[in-house]
Structure 1
Amino acid sequence: MQTNLKRRRILSGAPALLAGMAAANALPSIASASPSVAPGGLSADRTRITYFQVPMQKQWPLNEQLVKSKPYAKYFTKDLVAPVDMVNALAGGPLPPEHVLPPTVDGLAKMMRTFPDAPVSGYAFIDEGPLAFAQSRHVFPGVTAKMFEWWFTWHPIESERYMLWFPHAHIHNSVADPVRLANDKLTYGERLYGNPNHVTEYIGPMLLDSYINFDAPENFGVDPAALKANGFTFNASGIITPITDRHSPLVLMIHLGRDTPAGLEMINRYWIGTHASYDRFKKFPGGAHLSRELVKKMKLDKVILENLAYEMAIHDMTEFTCLGKFLPDIYREYGA
């Protein structure tokens, strides 16, 4: 008997996505909706994830053993879901060219102009670089920007907390200065920016051991006026560098969030690879040359980068959906 397993068939079937999402108030945000609940407790706009790469399957029981003695172990789950609209967006293949953005200042400006109309999820290969590109837009009912700021200052203190976020893929997280990160007398930016996270995780089958260098979005080229005009108050943007090449940008990551009547709305963008515009990053002098050499050393060709873009979109969809589901409860228990 011959089995035909297509790469993109990673998710189980689900009822059709509920309609009725509409803009709310003056901002182009998504209005709240009350999805029906399917048998088994799965809401009609969610589908269960039924496929994980082999390394992630092997990682889950290891993480389970580490988390089970923690007081927050009840938030660790094997049953992960994804929004049907994001699944459908990825099933359509790479993004059309009009939604593929370069990691330039102009590209970020276009992101701020066009994010309400961009697909909720997507991936692409960018020849100019070369680069893998992934994007998403999430809405988290019952979640606020304050909760996300708490999460980004709470979870790096213990790796087991990081495992809650993606139980199959997250392995380790620590922070350069945990005392500063935990100091609630400082502002969010004072605690997180310039205080790198050392993160180990799987992106699909690829093990990424890296530092996330968080900073204000303005320092990556996002226009402060555009942030204010669109109501974005949460930020967890950064440059990711491999642990073996700490000064070589590998990923430009943008995470921006704003409170809406439907809950926190977040837009995420990832550029993985190299680009001439990386010389603008003041904290990474020679970033374009260093990233170009890193891409050569890692042998990141078009095939690898396009697959990495797809895996990054799946990873983002999975981890943020998981986090959004338990964040209100864990915040009330440990953060409020």
Structure 2
Amino acid sequence: MSHQDTSSRSTLGPLELVPVTFYPLGTQKHFERTEQRIKNKPYAKYLHSSLSLYPDIIPALKKPINPKDFLQIARVAHLLEPGYHEIENGWCALNDGTAYVASKTRFPGATGEMIDWWFWWHSVEPERYALWYPYNHVSAQSSFQDRLHRDDLSHREKWLGSTHKVTEFIGPQYMKIRIQFVNPAYFGLPWDKLEGAGYAAAVCAVLWDAWLPMKVGEFLHLWRRKDYGLELRSRYWLGHQVYFDLVGLKIPVDYLGGILGFKQRLAGENIAYEQFLHDQIEFTNLGIILPGLFEEFGQDKMNGR
């Protein structure tokens, strides 16, 4: 599953960036509202109106990958192997309508501590979440509100196991979803094996419908140490193995959803493409702003808030 492909292997973090020049009208209007809300915040200087992409991902935007090349969720342990997979950047719809995304980007100067800090700090107020992708991010509310300002907990303890209610744009589509953060061991990636494979941080989740007890997908974000900081390798399975959870009883609707076209509407090729682009823009921007944010507001500054 892995190989040493020099086109995928980047030893240089800060390459010349390509500006993003198109935003759907709804997201442009959202940015204007965000800019007004953030202007008096102490972190306002980290709000970027000009967002960017790394040039080596542009070819992956042009067409979907062959569905046979997707990484099955049962085989994610291959991400522990050295090197890279044949597909590190790509998107497609599987035959049943599942949207699959593989995405890799760079975090120059970042550390695992910064990642763990960010994943609770950004949920304190909507404006912080908006910094991440100011055109598309609206709000993220953590179920761990009582933990966010506690000084006796580690950064990871403030978000791992929580559920975030997220509102955002995926392309032009306004969406709400619940993100349940789980231990990577849930996917067969225990912390000790991740650390042994060179990973400094991991954020893994099960995705749920915003209102119904319906599981709608999964994702993995794995940050691997590089000489310039960290590289992020992500995988998404959207509309994957859909089921209702009724008081602990799982009622599968995945097969029926594929037959009736439900999964194609829930995920499908359009969502696969838009999620890949969304992921690349938001994480490229986060990789740029995170070291400065952490230096200024992390490490128990702002009273731990």
Quickly name the TM-score band, shorter chain normalised: 0.7 to 0.9
Matches of residues 64-83 of structure 1 in structure 2 within 5 Å? 64-83=35-54
Aligned partner of residue 182 in structure 1, secondary structure: coil
In terms of fraction of residues, the more strand-rich structure is 2
1:99 aligns with 2:66: no
User: For residues 141-162 of structure 1, what are the alpha-carbon distances to aligned partners after superposition, in whole Å with 9 as ceiling and x for unaligned?
Assistant: 1111111111111110010000
Match 1:323 to one of 286, 290, 299: 286
Match 2:117 to one of 150, 159, 180: 150
The residue type paired with residue 110 of structure 1 is H
Match 1:109 to one of 53, 77, 92: 77
2:241 maps to 275
1:286 aligns with 2:257: no
Aligned partner of residue 157 in structure 1, secondary structure: coil
Query: Which residues of structure 2 form unaligned runs of 5+?
Result: 300-305
RMSD: 3.0
CA contact 2:239–2:266 (8 Å) conserved in 1: no
1:234 aligns with 2:205: no
1:306 maps to 269
**Residue-pair matches, total:** 294
**Structure 1 residue 101 displacement after superposition:** 1.7
CA contact 2:13–2:106 (8 Å) conserved in 1: no
Aligned partner of residue 40 in structure 2, secondary structure: coil
Matched residues, percent identical?
A: 30
* In structure 2, distance between residues paired with 1:157 and 1:182: 9
Give the TM-score, by structure 1 length: 0.78
Give the TM-score, by structure 2 length: 0.85
* In structure 1, distance between residues paired with 2:68 and 2:83: 12
Aligned partner of residue 301 in structure 1, secondary structure: helix
CA contact 2:98–2:264 (8 Å) conserved in 1: no
1:256 aligns with 2:226: no
In terms of fraction of residues, the more helix-rich structure is 1
CA contact 2:13–2:107 (8 Å) conserved in 1: no
1:182 aligns with 2:162: no
**Structure 1 residue 291 displacement after superposition:** 5.6
User: For residues 60-83 of structure 1, what are the alpha-carbon distances to aligned partners after superposition, in whole Å with 9 as ceiling and x for unaligned?
Assistant: 111111111211111111100000
| CA 1:268–1:182: 2 relative to 1, 3 Å | farther
1:63 maps to 34
Bigger relative CO (Cα 8 Å, ≥ 6 apart): 2
| CA 1:178–1:235: 2 relative to 1, 3 Å | same
Match 2:182 to one of 209, 215, 237: 215
* In structure 1, distance between residues paired with 2:12 and 2:84: 15
